[in-house]
Amino acid sequence: MKKADRYLKIVEWSDEDRCYVGRCPELMLGGVHGRDEKKVFADLCAVVDRWIAQAEADGEKLPPGLAGKKYSGKFNVRLGPRLHERLALNALREGKSLNNYLAEILEKRVSRSIR
């Protein structure tokens, strides 16, 4: 396995750019663009390989990769007491636990952003 295999490589269509955009979230947010999805992915893989080689040559520590990462389904969120109260009251009004209420809100929001 190459070091680059530990990093997520995402290629998706951008309406704004009117082309495919390739990115590796752990190393860079963008930078590889093109009209051919497969070519953008191949170019992205080459850029990630070069990025890693350059970082190692410069003695930089590489960030941990996210590919294959397992998520527990639990995370803590800190927010102000007033927002916490408002969320709890909204959940109560809907007859849901705060956890289920927030999970539904997050699922709807994330689902919309993925389309």
Asked if 46 and 90 sit in the same domain, the reply is: no
Q: Which residue has the tokens 């009209």?
A: 35
CATH code, domain with 37 = 3.30.160
Distance from C-alpha of 32 to C-alpha of 23, rounded to nearest angstrom: 7
Percent of the chain with pLDDT over 70: 96
Residue 59: what pLDDT? 96
25 is in which domain, residue-wise?
3-57
**Full-model pTM:** 0.65
Asked if 53 and 8 sit in the same domain, the reply is: yes
Q: 24 in a domain, yes or no?
A: yes
Asked if 89 and 53 sit in the same domain, the reply is: no
Query: Which residue spans within the chain are E strands per DSSP?
Result: 10-14, 19-24, 28-34
Distance from C-alpha of 24 to C-alpha of 20, rounded to nearest angstrom: 14
Q: 94 in a domain, yes or no?
A: yes
Residue 112: what pLDDT? 76
Q: Helix (H, G, I), strand (E, B), or coil: what is residue 104?
A: helix
Q: Kindly report, residue by residue over 79-89, the tens digit of the pLDDT.
A: 999 999 999 99
* Count of domains observed in the chain: 2
Say which amino acid occupies 66.
L
Asked if 91 and 45 sit in the same domain, the reply is: no
Q: 72 in a domain, yes or no?
A: no
